[in-house]
A and B are shown apart, each in its own frame.
Chain A
Amino acid sequence: MTTLPTQTQKKLGLVIDLDTCVGCHACVVSCKGWNTENYGAPLSDKDAYGAEPMGTFLNRVHAFEVKPEVGPAQTVHFPKSCLHCEDAPCVTVCPTGASYKRVEDGIVLVNESDCIGCGLCAWSCPYGARELDQVEGVMKKCTLCVDRIYNENLPEIDREPSCVRTCPANARHFGDFADPDSNVSRLTAERGGMDLMAEMGTKPVNKYLPPRPKDEMGEIDILAPLLAPVAADPKGFLGWLDKALEKL
Chain B
Amino acid sequence: MTHQQPIIDTSPKVSDEIRKTTCYMCACRCGINVHMKSGKVAYIEGNRDHPVNKGVLCAKGSAGIMQINAPSRLRAPLKRVGPRGSGAFEEISWEEAMDIAVGHLKPIRENDPTKLAFFTGRDQSQSFTGLWAQNYGTPNFAAHGGFCSVNMAAGGIYTMGGAFWEFGQPDWDRTKLFMLFGVAEDHDSNPIKMGLSKIKGNGGKIIGVNPIRSGYNAIADEWVGITPGTDGLLILSLIHELFKAGKIDLEYLSRFTNAPVLIDADTGLLMRDADGKELVIDRNTGNLVAFNTKGIMPDLAATHEGNRTVFQLMAEKYLEPQYAPDAVAEECGISAGRIRKIAHELGRVAFDEEIVLDQEWTDFRGDKHDKMVGRPVSFHSMRGVSAHSNGFQTCRALHTLQIVLGTVEVPGGFRFKPPYPKPATAHPKPHCKVTPGKPLDGPHLGYVQGPDDLCLHDDGSPVRIDKAYTWENPMSAHGLMHMVISNAHAGDPYKIDTLFMYMANMSWNSSMNTRGVMEMLTDKDENGDYVIPNIIYSDAYSSEMVAYADLVLPDTTYLERHDCISLLDRPICEADAAADAIRWPVIEPDRDVRGFQSVLVDLGARLGMPAFVNEDGSAKYKDYADYIVNHERKPGIGPLSGFRGENGDQFGRGAPNPDQLNRYIENGGFAVHHIPEGSDYYKPWNMAYQDWAVGIGLYDKPEPYLFQLYAEPLRKFQRAAEGHGDRQPPEHLRERIKETMDPLPTWYAPFEDSNVDTTEFTVHALTQRPMAMYHSWGTQNAWLRQIHGRNPLYVPTKLWEQHGFAEGDWARVTSAHGSITVPVAHHGGLNDSTVWTWNAIGKRKGAWALDEKAPEATKGFLLNHLIHELQPEKGDGLRWANSDPVTGQAAWFDLRVKIEKTTAPEECDPAFDAIKSPVGQGPKDLAWKVGK
Contacts and interface: CB of A to CB of B under 8 A. Distances in A.
A24 B193 contact: yes
Contact of B190 (A74, A146, A168): A168
Nearest to B930: A37
Contacts of A73: 213, 797, 828-829
A173 B316 CA distance: 52
A165 B283 contact: no
Interface residues of B, number: 116
A203 B193 CA distance: 31
A92 interface: no
A162 to B, nearest CB: 7
Interface in A45-87: 45-55, 57, 63, 65, 67, 72-77
B782 interface: yes
Interface string B39-73: 00011111010000101111111110100000100
A213 B194 CA distance: 21
Contacts of B3: 1, 3, 5, 100, 103
Interface string B890-932: 0000000000000000000000000000000111111111110
Interface in B186-245: 189-190, 193-194, 196-197, 200-201, 207, 213-223, 225, 241-245
Given A26-B57, A219-B338, A237-B319, A48 B827 contact: no
A29 B783 contact: yes
A157 B48 CA distance: 10
Interface stretch (B11-19, B110-118, B562-570, B860-868): B11-19
B785 interface: yes
A152 interface: yes
Interface stretch (A121-129, A177-185, A193-201, A224-232): A224-232
B56 A168 contact: yes
Contacts of A166: 45-46, 55-58, 62
Interface string A209-243: 00110111111001011111111011001101110
A242 B342 CA distance: 27
B288 interface: no
Interface in B803-844: 827-829
A219 B126 CA distance: 48
A3 B5 CA distance: 11
A145 B193 CA distance: 24
Contacts of A135: 925, 927
A169 interface: yes
B194 A170 contact: yes
A227 B315 contact: no
Contact of A165 (B45, B220, B340, B786): B45
Contact of A230 (B60, B219, B244, B301): B244
A170 B191 CA distance: 12
A12 interface: no
A29 to B, nearest CB: 4
A42 B785 CA distance: 18
A42 B342 CA distance: 51
A45 B782 contact: yes
Contact of A153 (B6, B13, B63, B189): B13
B38 interface: no
Given A23-B218, A55-B783, A146 B56 contact: no
B218 A50 contact: no
A74 B225 CA distance: 11
Contact of A25 (B301, B787, B851): B787
A234 B315 contact: yes
Interface stretch (B262-270, B343-351, B547-555, B589-597): B343-351
B226 to A, nearest CB: 12
B308 to A, nearest CB: 10
B246 A168 contact: no
B271 interface: no
B925 A217 contact: no
Nearest to A102: B5
A57 B786 CA distance: 10
Q: Which DSSP category, helix, strand, loop or mixed, fits chain A's interface?
A: loop
B312 interface: yes
B223 A72 contact: yes
B10 interface: yes
Contacts of B789: 53
B504 to A, nearest CB: 24
A144 B686 CA distance: 50
Most chain B CB within 10 A, of A55, A135, A154, is at A55
Nearest to B321: A233
A30 B45 contact: yes
Nearest to B43: A37
Contact of B772 (A24, A111, A212, A245): A24
Contacts of A134: 925
A245 B207 CA distance: 31
Nearest to A221: B341
Contacts of A146: 8, 10
A169 B925 contact: no
A44 B242 CA distance: 57
A21 interface: yes
A175 interface: no
A151 interface: yes
B849 interface: yes
B10 A75 contact: no
Contacts of B926: 44-45, 48, 55
Contacts of A216: 221-222
A171 interface: yes
A167 B930 CA distance: 24
A234 B926 CA distance: 70
A65 B297 contact: no
Nearest to A6: B1
Interface string B741-772: 00000000000000000000000000000011
A42 to B, nearest CB: 4
Given A30-B57, A73-B797, A168-B190, A20 B196 contact: yes
B833 to A, nearest CB: 14
A217 B53 CA distance: 33
Nearest to A150: B10
A24 B58 contact: yes
B854 interface: yes
B347 A227 contact: yes
B4 interface: yes
A21 B771 CA distance: 12
Most chain B CB within 10 A, of A20, A33, A76, is at A33
A93 interface: no
A149 B784 CA distance: 26
Nearest to A76: B218
A63 B341 CA distance: 29
6 contacts: A20-B200, A30-B57, A37-B42, A41-B929, A50-B854, A166-B62
Given A37-B37, A74-B223, A169-B219, 4 more contacts: A32-B783, A53-B786, A214-B220, A248-B254
A-B pairs, 6 with minimum CB distance: A49-B922, A73-B828, A227-B245, A168-B193, A75-B218, A230-B246
